[in-house]
Amino acid sequence: MIGAQLSSAASGLALAAEDSGSDQNPLLPETYDIIWSLVIVLVIGFVFIKYVLPKFQAVLDERAEKIQGGLEKAEKSQEEADALLAQYHQQLQEARTEAATIREEARAEGSAIIEDLRRKASADAERIVGSAQRQIEAERQAASVSLRNDVGQLATELASRIVGESLADSARQSRVVDRFLDDLESGAAEVEAEATTTGGEAR
């Protein structure tokens, strides 16, 4: 397209130059044209190369640096955050383990205490039962001793009475027995009172 445009333009130029009677050859520059073109290009070149482009380059560099710095910073803080998170996780894990240990210990200690108390209680109970049995045994023995004394005395008294009285007739005999039984009954209260006093002493 450009080639066609170029060639058509060239032929057009030739024709136009002939027709308009212009004595200008468009390819030959006028002196003023060259001079002003030089001035223009020098001005543009100077301003662009000395000011505009370095300024933009500086801005671009700064921008690139900022972006780079920002990325690095973000990466760094991400790493820090990761490390912190890992640390927290570890601490949490440690805390959990510790808590579990403490709980375990507490449970063990609690059951030990309960076991201990139970053992103590059963020991107490045994001791109480044992002392009660011993007391009962002692009272029983005391009662038995006192009973044996009483029975012996009674038997002796009865025997002496029987022997002291003539056991000729059955009337007398039955009288003796009745009297003995009466005595025995009246003496039962005394015996009982005596038994309680001996029990109190034994205790």
Partner 1 sequence: MSFLATTPTLAADGFHAPSLDDFFPNGFLFEGTAFEINRIMLVRFVAVVALLLVFVLAAKRAKLVPGRFQASVEFVLDFARRQIVYEILGEKEGKKYVPVITTIFCGILFFNLTGVVPFLNIAGTGVVGLPLVFALWVYGMYLGAGVKKFGVGGFLKNNLFPAGTPWPIYILLTPLEFLQVFVIRPATLVIRLLANMISGHLLIALCFAATQYLLFSATPALKAFGLVTFVGGFAAFLLEVFVACLQAYVFAILAAVYINMSIESEH
**Candidates 10-18, 98-106, 107-115, 128-136 — which segment interacts with partner 1 by CB under 8 A?**
10-18
**Candidates 59-67, 77-85, 124-132, 162-170 — which segment interacts with partner 1 by CB under 8 A?**
59-67
Residues 6 or more apart whose Cβ sits within 8 Å of residue 139: 199, 202, 203
Among residues 164, 152, 153, 149, the alpha carbon closest in space to that of 198 is found at: 149
Separation of first and last alpha carbons in the chain: 140
Of 8 and 97, which has the nearer Cβ to partner 1?
8
Closest distance of CB 71 from partner 1, Å: 15
Distance (Å, whole) CA 119 – CA 142:
34
Of 57 and 144, which has the nearer Cβ to partner 1?
57
**Candidates 21-29, 87-95, 112-120, 176-184 — which segment interacts with partner 1 by CB under 8 A?**
21-29
Judged by DSSP in three states, 127 sits in helix
Distance (Å, whole) CA 139 – CA 198:
9
In the complex, the residues that contact partner 1 under the rule CB under 8 A are: 2, 5-6, 8-13, 15-17, 19-20, 22, 24, 26-38, 40-41, 43-45, 47-49, 51-53, 55-56, 59-60, 62-63, 66
